């Protein structure tokens, strides 16, 4: 409620400034006949740092816990996205215990165009991307809990494709898969689980751990680039297609 009031206030101020500028320059108004721009939905990304609090997740090299690595990645990605003008909603900012349904509730409330569930693992290599293993279903307003993602899974696969392309472009090793995760399966947004695994050299020796700051920064940069492109595509779809 307060938002819409603030917004209309801000808009009123802008109109006043525009009118004043017009009066001062007295330029012929070439824009007077233009139709007002169609309202564009706010582009929101949800970042869900998996695990936290009582749930440490897996154990990484050096005894570090997965819950700390996912939070660090979430914080990095949040600041990169914010710097690019993308609104971000996170499910946690601290070492808090968060049940899957609470995470999905936050994500679904945000009405997001992309939801990333962040995991970290010591096994495998590079970045693992998972879309929900639910079969595609018609999106309905009140979808049953834990299968709600079925209505979005086609978009989620497209989002996974975009993330994959950006990570490959950044020289990362990527594995694509489908999985069942309670948090993701309850989300009503294009959702992808991003699991960061160690980076390995040609001899399979680990060159960067999942919690390595530089490695995380490179992964986050590639993910941010993909989400920027996703935003452009979302805008195009909204403007051009029925």
Q: Rounded distance, CA 95 to CA 92, Å? A: 8
Comparing every residue's Cβ against Zn ion, the nearest one is: 119
**Residue among 44, 46, 49, 57 that touches Zn ion (CB under 5 A):** 57
Closest distance of CB 10 from Zn ion, Å: 41
Residue 128, interface with Zn ion (CB under 5 A)?
no
Q: Rounded distance, CA 149 to CA 182, Å? A: 10
Closest distance of CB 74 from Zn ion, Å: 13
Q: What is the C-alpha radius of gyration for the chain, rounded to an integer number of angstroms? A: 21
Nearest one of 120, 124, 122, 127 to 163, comparing CA atoms: 127
CB atoms within 10 A of CB 130: 22
Nearer to Zn ion, 67 or 155 (CB): 67
Closest distance of CB 193 from Zn ion, Å: 9
Residue 119, interface with Zn ion (CB under 5 A)?
yes
Residue 50, interface with Zn ion (CB under 5 A)?
yes
Nearer to Zn ion, 143 or 174 (CB): 174
Beta strands 114-120 and 191-196, pairing class: parallel
Nearer to Zn ion, 54 or 111 (CB): 54
Q: Tell me how many degrees the CA angle 70-72-76 measures, rounded to the nearest 5.
A: 115
Closest distance of CB 164 from Zn ion, Å: 20
Beta strands 174-179 and 114-120, pairing class: unpaired
Nearer to Zn ion, 50 or 77 (CB): 50
End-to-end CA distance of the chain: 29
Question: For Zn ion, which stretch binds (CB under 5 A), given 77-85, 117-125, 141-149, 178-186?
Answer: 117-125
Number of residues engaging Zn ion in binding (CB under 5 A): 3
3-state secondary structure at position 14 = helix
Q: CB under 8 Å to 44, separation ≥6 — which residues?
A: 86, 87, 88, 89, 110, 111, 112, 113
Closest distance of CB 48 from Zn ion, Å: 11
Nearer to Zn ion, 184 or 225 (CB): 184
User: Interface residues for Zn ion in 149-168 (CB under 5 A)?
Assistant: none
Which residues of the shown chain bind Zn ion in the complex (CB under 5 A)?
50, 57, 119
């Amino acid at each position: 409620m307060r938002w819409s009031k603030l917004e209309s206030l801000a808009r009123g101020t802008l109109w006043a400034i525009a009118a004043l500028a017009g009066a001062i320059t007295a330029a012929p108004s070439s824009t007077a006949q233009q139709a007002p721009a169609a309202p564009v939905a706010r582009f929101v990304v949800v970042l869900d740092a998996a695990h936290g609090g009582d749930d440490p997740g897996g154990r990484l090299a050096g005894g570090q816990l997965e819950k700390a690595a996912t939070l660090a990645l979430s914080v990095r990605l949040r600041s990169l996205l914010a710097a690019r003008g993308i609104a971000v909603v996170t499910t946690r900012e601290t070492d808090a215990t968060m049940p899957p349904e609470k995470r999905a509730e936050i994500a679904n409330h945000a009405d997001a165009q992309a939801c990333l569930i962040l995991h970290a693992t010591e096994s495998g290599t590079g970045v693992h991307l998972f879309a929900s293993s639910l079969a595609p279903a018609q999106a309905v307003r009140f979808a049953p809990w834990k299968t709600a993602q079925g209505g979005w899974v086609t978009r989620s696969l497209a989002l996974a494709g975009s993330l994959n392309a950006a990570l490959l472009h950044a020289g990362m090793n990527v594995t694509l898969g489908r999985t069942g995760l309670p948090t993701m399966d309850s989300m009503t947004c294009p959702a992808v689980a991003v699991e960061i695994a160690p980076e390995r050299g040609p001899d399979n020796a680990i060159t960067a751990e999942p919690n390595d700051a530089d490695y995380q920064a490179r992964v986050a940069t590639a993910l941010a680039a993909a989400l920027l492109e996703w935003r452009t595509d979302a805008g195009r779809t909204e403007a051009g297609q029925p």
